[in-house]
Structure 1
Amino acid sequence: MAGIAVIGAGMGAMAAAARLAVAGRRVTVLERGDTYGGALRRYARDGFAFDTGPGLLHLPAVYRDLFVKTGREPLEECVELRRVDPDARHVFADGTAVTLPGFSHGGVRAALDEALGAGAGQRWSDLLGRARTAWDATRRPLLEEPSRPGDGGPTPDPYPASRRRGLLRRRPPTLAEVAEDELRDPRLAALLGGFARSYGLDPAEAPASAAVLAYLEQTFGTWYVGGGMRELARALHDRCVARGVEFRFGAEVARVREADGRATGAELADGEVLDADAVVAPGRADAHAPGARARFTVLLALDGPRPAGEPHRTLLHGPDRLVTVLRPDDPALVPDAGHEAVVLTAVVPAGPVAEPERLADTLVAAADAAGLDLGSRVRWREVRTPLDHAAATHAPGGAVPPPVLAGGGGAWRREANLGSPRGMYRAGGWAHPGGGTAHAGMSGALAAGLLLEGDDWRGSR
């Protein structure tokens, strides 16, 4: 048999490759860049190290399952996983701040009541209860079952939005409208919108079902990988190699070869032809897809130690943007205990950024205005624009895909895992079930399942 060609070495592609290899298939990964991991990259300088893509992990069960099914060593023996608790400090536009605990709905209710007033916690809890209804309705069809072209058509938005007296909408509400109707506090609305904005979604455009993102994080928690998220990519690459996957870097695929209506291999840019029984390829990236945005990141090498008790994550809810501040307490990221490595991130449109240094100044100033005292401690900084992300990942304009969502007439779907022609399968953030590190891992499982079990496979039970 000719084996399987996997195009790209992102997290979805490697998740598929590991599963295919452990099933006895010969797998070759063709990556046009010089390394693996997709968006999970690292920048290192002068003893400092930073994640330049996602800095935290949600739904670690996706990778626990992958490592259990592809080898003897579980995920926790390959990387260090830490629960992030408290989950985050939120600073709102009016200066109000609240620190929310992780893994405790009751603790979140109490914290919101104390910071925002009696009843705030219950309104938030009631909304999460409705978000759970949406999660229960969409978890399997949108996350655990593979997608096929035209499969089932658009999925209706299952979020059971409550209706305020006298209010009748002629269409399903957006996430922003749900926040206005049900939370009745601009700070709670910013809190809900922040969960969507962190994925690049605009609450004014996202369907109400995007409330599941808040439910997921507050139910299943947020996790940090010791040494940074790049360590997760390293561990998955190592698992692939241990299972016999061959990696070829600097191997740009010019086109997928076809014969008799079936994918038969890949032709490289240098003219080399690699025969294959099937091809796993990324979904087609689209910088203009609904919800597609890009990351603007400022890496700060700071003099002075990380302040004791400082939350790992602070979210600054400004009037026009969300700024995420990550301050991991990890000695692997700094030259010594007298320094700190901090990452500031804002979501921006894909493509060039006008005056990136000025925008970086704005993000640092926002952090300082929230009392974080970063600007006076900067030893040096590195600014990473969407075009830097594009150069590393080849995504157009540095666009980052959002996760798949129900509603919106199907606009929030991604490319199907079962591709065309026959023998073509899709994995990665631009394929079903969309963007995010956990979702990319799911896409690899779905593509591998279809390839191994047949095109009628409905997902693991």
Structure 2
Amino acid sequence: MNNKIHIIGSGFSSLAASCYLAKDGFNVTVLEKNSTLGGRARQYKNDGFTFDIGPTWYWMPDVFERFFADFGKKPLDYYVLEKLKPAYQVYFDKDDSITIPGSLNEIYEVFENEEKGSSQHLKSFLGSAKANYDTAIKDLVYKPGVSPLELVTPTTIARVSQFFSTIRKDVRKKIKSHKLIQILEFPVLFLGAKPSNTPAFYNFMNYADFGLGTWHPKGGMYMVVEAMVTLAKTLGVEFKTDANVEKIITDNSNSVSGLVVNGEKIEANIVLSGADYHHSETLLDKNLRQYSEKYWSKKTFAPSSLLFYVGFDKKLDNVCHHTLFFDTDFDIHAKDIYDDPKWPDEPLFYASFPSITDETCAPEGKEAATFLIPLAPGLKDTEALRERYFNKILARLEQLTGQNVKKSIIFKKSFCVNDFVKDYNSYKGNAYGMANTLFQTAFLRPKIKSKKVGNLFFTGQLTVPGPGVPPALISGKIASDLIKKNQ
């Protein structure tokens, strides 16, 4: 069998695949176009502050444990995990916020205090969510998306109605509080779609939220990247940074024969691309691409984001490690992302203050903050717009939390649509990949194995199982299994 494989990109899915393939005897080389590893999960350091450029939420700890266990390791062999207590805070207005505690019994109390009787509805809802989580995470999401029959099991047949209902309908059946509804609908944002377009089966994200909790690896999510790189290197994986793949070369039988990297042709027998799927196909001759521009333009993509990495010269008040600002209309913002793409007038936004939990993220007495505004992909992105929205959300932060912070800014760095395109070749500058709507789930997503090019495979958030860090780890495993099967 061919045992030499080149992997394009070094995000979570590529790193996971590199480990599995190396363990199974493949000679693996990872090619990363940027100067540092990690893909969208890179790290930014400035003036004693440390920021995760990409993902900041550590959910589904069991998926990470399962990955490392496949190599006889544990996450704790590489990084220290802390369960966040509280998990996060949600602002609805000035002096009106709900804090989600770190234990399920305390969460039931929070719900009951907000709406009498809601805790019983929540228990029933989470019972269904846990059953769906067990079905999805222990079985379905590890399927390669080759056939619709992968979804047909006794369990899914019993729950088939949940694929044709939505999270929004499910959440609103019994609970009436608008605040509680927003909290229950929030986790599906990680799937990249509106609650009204997300199958009710995906309520397993609520179990991930409330049942499994929110965690923080000391040093940030980049510690997971470093752990996986360390593991990969011990397995023999070779990493090359500043290695931009410009072309995938094929032979007369339309099988992979080489790559053009930084203008130089190298031999390649098997290629796995963890880079943006759309971009990866543009590296092929047009007749060898599976999906047309028309295909991509019709798909529902998860949002892009406007991000700010900010260093403050003081500690901030009245915020948690993860803080959500839901003081504006979610439905209007969602419409501006999915239905009529434009810059939102009054966006919801999210803020992460990791230095509240982790002293390694900022100098003593100072605060590191990441702000994120979800945006429609493909929007015009200018410095003037970035500055306008920074001032907008900072004014709301000050008003809602009752403090002045603008004069305490030491520095800020922004990242938006243009950067996602430049740094990651991301289609329309999307941040999270393709949304998990009913018609973009499992076998209906772009395929891991190319139908037109031999020994060309794909992994990551545009293929199965979908957006998010845990799904990326799973995608790497699925791709590696498919490669082994095809050799």
Pairing partner for 2:149 from 140, 152, 156:
152
1:426 alignment counterpart: 458
Summarize the Cα distance change of 1:222–1:158 in structure 2 as closer, same or farther, 3 Å threshold: farther
2:222 alignment counterpart: 230
Provide the C-alpha distance between the structure 2 equivalents of 1:403 and 1:141, rounded to a whole number of angstroms: 21
1:459 alignment counterpart: none
Matched residues, percent identical? 22
Alignment partner of 1:266: what SS?
strand
- Aligned partner of 1:363: which letter? I
Alignment partner of 2:373: what SS?
strand
1:100 alignment counterpart: 100
Shift of 1:416: 2.6
Shift of 1:158: 7.7
Alignment partner of 1:55: what SS?
coil
As a proportion of its length, which structure holds more helix? 2
**Total equivalences in the alignment:** 440
CA contact (8 A) 2:145 2:444 kept: no
Shift of 1:119: 1.5
Alignment partner of 2:323: what SS?
strand
Pairing partner for 1:121 from 111, 119, 122:
119
Summarize the Cα distance change of 1:52–1:295 in structure 2 as closer, same or farther, 3 Å threshold: same
Alignment partner of 1:428: what SS?
coil
Please give the per-residue CA displacement for 1:277-331, whole angstroms capped at 9, x wherever unaligned.
x221236145763242112112221122355x95311111131443222111222
CA contact (8 A) 1:263 1:424 kept: yes
- Aligned partner of 1:119: which letter? G
Tell me if 1:61 matches 2:55: no
RMSD: 3.0
- Aligned partner of 1:284: which letter? Y
Consecutive unaligned residues in structure 2, runs of 5 or more: 279-295, 334-346
Which deviates more, 40-49 or 265-274? 265-274
Summarize the Cα distance change of 1:42–1:16 in structure 2 as closer, same or farther, 3 Å threshold: same
Shift of 1:132: 3.1
Pairing partner for 1:325 from 351, 356, 374:
351
Pairing partner for 1:387 from 397, 403, 418:
418
Please give the per-residue CA displacement for 1:115-148, whole angstroms capped at 9, x wherever unaligned.
x131222233332233334334433553122222
- Aligned partner of 2:353: which letter? R
Summarize the Cα distance change of 1:301–1:236 in structure 2 as closer, same or farther, 3 Å threshold: same
Summarize the Cα distance change of 1:199–1:147 in structure 2 as closer, same or farther, 3 Å threshold: closer
1:364 alignment counterpart: 394
2:324 alignment counterpart: 315
Pairing partner for 1:342 from 365, 369, 394:
369
1:134 alignment counterpart: 132
Alignment partner of 1:152: what SS?
helix
Shift of 1:269: 5.4
CA contact (8 A) 2:94 2:401 kept: no
Summarize the Cα distance change of 1:140–1:79 in structure 2 as closer, same or farther, 3 Å threshold: closer
- Aligned partner of 1:293: which letter? P
Alignment partner of 2:195: what SS?
coil
Provide the C-alpha distance between the structure 2 equivalents of 1:395 and 1:41, rounded to a whole number of angstroms: 15
Provide the C-alpha distance between the structure 2 equivalents of 1:138 and 1:125, rounded to a whole number of angstroms: 20
Consecutive unaligned residues in structure 1, runs of 5 or more: 163-170, 457-461
TM-score by length of structure 2 reads 0.81
Provide the C-alpha distance between the structure 1 equivalents of 2:98 and 2:145, rounded to a whole number of angstroms: 40
Shift of 1:350: 1.4
Shift of 1:16: 0.5
Provide the C-alpha distance between the structure 1 equivalents of 2:177 and 2:277, rounded to a whole number of angstroms: 39
2:87 alignment counterpart: 87
Summarize the Cα distance change of 1:408–1:187 in structure 2 as closer, same or farther, 3 Å threshold: farther
